[in-house]
Structure 1
Amino acid sequence: MRRRGFVAALAGATAGVTVPATGCLGSRGVTVLSAGSLAVVLDENLGPAFEDDTGTAYRGEYYGSKAVMRMVEERQKDPDVVVSADAGLLRRRLYDGHTDWDVVFGSNSVGITYNEGTRIGKRLRDGEPWYEVLRDADDGDVAISDPELDPLGYRAVQMFELAEEKHGLDGFKNEMVSKVYEEPQEPQLLAGVRSGTRSAAVAYRNMAVDHDLPFHEPPDELNFSNPELADTYAEATYTTEDGDTVRGSPVLYNATVLDGADRYGAGIGFVNYLLDSPDTLRRNGLSVPEIRYNGEVPEEVSA
C-alpha cells in the first residue's frame, strides 16, 4: 500500500474516534519526538491537521536534535516517530538498534534573527555586515542554542568559523563563542529576541517566519542551505565535550518510525502525512527538496 492509500486507510480505521487534546508523549495517539525548530509547524499546523484528517491524536515534544537522540538511546522517551534537523545525526545514533531507515523531507537556512528595536537589530536592518555587528554586541546579547544539545548550536559555531575564514576575521569564532548566550531549550531560543531583552540569535529561517521576526541570511557558503556546498560546510568542525567531532553539513530534516513503536502504523501514517504536506512546510519558512529515502524504507512510505 503506497503513501496516500495508507493515510486514507488510517483515516478510515479511526473514523468516529474522538480525538483528545494534544499533550505529552505516552498519551493516546501517535507520539512524535522532534527537533525543536519544527515545534510551531508541527504543533500548530501539521499535527492538528493530521488529527482532523485521520482521527488519530497527535502528541509532540520538541528538543535539540542531539537531546532527542540521547532520550531515545537512553529510553527516557519512547516515541513512535523521531524527527531530526541533522540527517546524519539520526543515522549515526539510531541506526543499528532503533531503526534502519529514514526519509529526508525538508531543508533550512542558518542566519541571524533580530529585534529591530535594539541597537544591534537596527544595524542589521540597515545592512551593516552581520559579522561586524555581532562582534560589537555585548556579552549575552546574542543567543545560540546549546551546541552540546542541538545541531543549530554547533552550526552557529561552524558559521562563525566559516565567516572567520571567508572574511579574514582573525579570532572571530572564539570571540563569538565566548560572548554568546547558549539557550538549552531550542524552542525558547527566540523568546528574548521577541521581547527585546536580547538583540539577536543565530536561528533557522523558518523560526524567524514562525515568530514574525526579521531574518538576515548570509550567503550560501555560510548558511548550510545548499547541498552542493557540502564540502565547504565540512571545512568547519565542532568538537563536543565528550570528544565527538562534528563536521558542518547541509541542513536536512529527516524522519523515521522506531522499531517496536507502540503505534507503528500510526507512525507510518504521520510520516506519510508529513511527506504529503510540502505546501505547509513552505508556508512555515522551510525549503522542500526532492524526497530522499535512506536504508530499508517500508513499502508503505515509498512514493
Structure 2
Amino acid sequence: MNSKIVTFSTVLILCAAIFLCGCTTTPQSDSGNQTPAGTTAPVETTAAAAGQIITVYHAGSLAAPFEELEKQYETAHPGVDVRLVPGGSTKLVKDITDLGKSADVFASADYTLIPTLMMPTSADWYVTFAKNQIVLCYTNQSKYAGEVNADTWYTILEKPDVQWACSDPNLDPCGYRSLMAIQLAEQHYGNDTIFDRVVSEHSNITVTEENGTYTLLATSPEPKDTFQIRPKSVELVQMLQNGGIDYAWEYRSVAEQNGLNFVELPEAIDLSSVTYADDYAKVTIETAGGLMTAKPIVYGATVPKNAENPEGGIAFVQMLVGSEGQAVMNAQGQPPIVPAGGFGTVPAELKALTASP
C-alpha cells in the first residue's frame, strides 16, 4: 500500500516538472504566437532603448517643413523617433532656460533669441538657416476683401466693423514683428497716425519716439474691441478660416501653406530685406523677454546644452542645413540660407555645411 502511494506521488511530480519545462521553453511573443521549441525568442529593440529619440522644439511657423523633415529623417534612420514640439519661440526658450525642459534641437523663428537668451549658459553655438516675411492674411469672406491691398490695408484695419489679430508679442516673434511692421508703415506711407489708430486705440500697447527711434511698449497688451491676440501665430489660421476674424498677421510661408489670401507688403515694412536693415532698426519693442530691435527675419537653430541626445540633435541639424533641408524649406515658402550661417563653437559635423561671418 505504501509503495503504491510513493509511486503515484512520483508520477505526479514528474508530470509537473514536464509541464513546467514546457512552459519555460515555449515563450510567447507580444502577438501571442509561440516561438518554436529549440529557438531563441527575438529581442525587441525600441527607439527609447537604443537612445534614438530626438526631441525638437521649434517655432510654430516651422510646423509644415519640420513634419516633412521628420518623415525624411526617420526614413533615412530606421528606429529613430523624432518628436516635434511646436510653440512660440520666446516661450520655448523660456521652457528650456527657465524650466529646465530638455530639447535635442531648438529652432527659432528669430535667431537672435539664441545668442541673447541662451548663450553662453544654455547653448554655445547656432546656425541661421532660412528667411521669411510678414504679410497680412485674409479670406474671400473677410470684410472689404475686394478693397484691401498694399496701399489700403491700414485704413481697413481701422474700420470699426473689422476684426483683426496677431500673436502674442511676449510669446511669439511673429507677434512683435507684426507690431513692428505696423510702426514701420508710418515712415513708409508718411502717416504718423497709423500705429495709434490701428493698435494703441484698441489696446494697452503704446509707442514713444526719441532721436528717430520708435519704441513700442507691449509687456501688457490688453487688446480690446476690434483687436485680438492669441499665443501663437498658427492659431490665427483657424480663426481666419472659421470667420472669427477678418485679418491676421502671419509669415508668408504660413499663408502659402494654408492657402490664405495675403497682402504682400513693401520691403520697407515686411522685414524681409537686408537692404532695409538700417531702417528696420529704427523700431524696437519692449516685451516680457526684453528689448527687441526690428531686423530682417532669419531663423536659427542650436542643440541646447541640456540635450539628452546631442548627437541625434546635431544629425537632425545636419539634415536641416543640408541639401534635403534646403529643398524642404524652399518648397514650403521659407527660402533657405545657403550656406547656413555658423556662429559660436559650431560642431565639427556642421562646419562643412556652414559659413562663419
Choose from 260, 275, 286 the match for 1:213: 260
In structure 1, the residue matched to 2:213 is: none
Q: List per-residue Cα deviations over 1:102-135 (Å, max 9, x = no partner).
A: 001100010111111221333227x762222222
TM-score, length basis structure 1:
0.86
Q: Does 2:302 align with 1:256? A: yes
CA distance in structure 2 between the aligned counterparts of 1:237 and 1:120, rounded to whole angstroms? 31
Choose from 200, 223, 228 the match for 2:247: 200
TM-score, length basis structure 2:
0.73
In structure 1, the residue matched to 2:327 is: 279
Contact 2:114/2:123, CA 8 A, preserved across alignment: no
In structure 1, the residue matched to 2:145 is: 121
Amino acid at match of 2:113: L
Q: Note the 1:53-68 alignment, pairs <5 A.
A: 53-55=76-78, 56-68=80-92
Choose from 117, 121, 134 the match for 1:110: 134
What percent of counterpart residues are identical? 29
User: How many angstroms does 1:18 deviate by?
Assistant: 6.3
CA distance in structure 2 between the aligned counterparts of 1:112 and 1:137, rounded to whole angstroms? 18
CA distance in structure 2 between the aligned counterparts of 1:54 and 1:28, rounded to whole angstroms? 9
Spell out structure 1 runs of 4+ moving beyond 4 A: 16-20
In structure 2, the residue matched to 1:190 is: 237
In structure 2, the residue matched to 1:294 is: 343
CA distance in structure 2 between the aligned counterparts of 1:228 and 1:234, rounded to whole angstroms? 12
Q: Note the 1:1-303 alignment, pairs <5 A.
A: 29-43=53-67, 45-55=68-78, 56-124=80-148, 129-136=152-159, 138=161, 141-177=163-199, 178=202, 179-241=226-288, 244-276=290-322, 277-290=325-338, 291-303=340-352
Tell me, which stretches of 5 or more residues in structure 1 are unaligned?
Answer: 1-15, 21-26
Cα pair distance change 1:79/1:158, threshold 3 Å:
same
In structure 2, the residue matched to 1:3 is: none
In structure 1, the residue matched to 2:222 is: none
User: How many angstroms does 1:241 deviate by?
Assistant: 4.6
User: How many angstroms does 1:294 deviate by?
Assistant: 0.8
Tell me, which stretches of 5 or more residues in structure 2 are unaligned?
Answer: 1-43, 203-225, 353-357
Larger gyration radius, structure 1 or structure 2: 2
| Matched residues, number | 278
Amino acid at match of 2:180: Q
- SS of the residue corresponding to residue 350 of structure 2 reads coil
Report the RMSD for the aligned CA atoms in angstroms. Answer: 2.1
CA distance in structure 1 between the aligned counterparts of 2:299 and 2:88, rounded to whole angstroms? 13
Amino acid at match of 1:288: P
Q: Greater helix percent: which structure?
A: 1
User: How many angstroms does 1:301 deviate by?
Assistant: 1.1
User: How many angstroms does 1:245 deviate by?
Assistant: 2.1
- SS of the residue corresponding to residue 190 of structure 1 reads helix
- SS of the residue corresponding to residue 83 of structure 2 reads strand
Contact 1:62/1:187, CA 8 A, preserved across alignment: no
Structure with bigger RCO (C-alpha 8 Å, 6+ apart): 1
Amino acid at match of 1:93: L
Contact 1:102/1:293, CA 8 A, preserved across alignment: yes
- SS of the residue corresponding to residue 112 of structure 1 reads strand
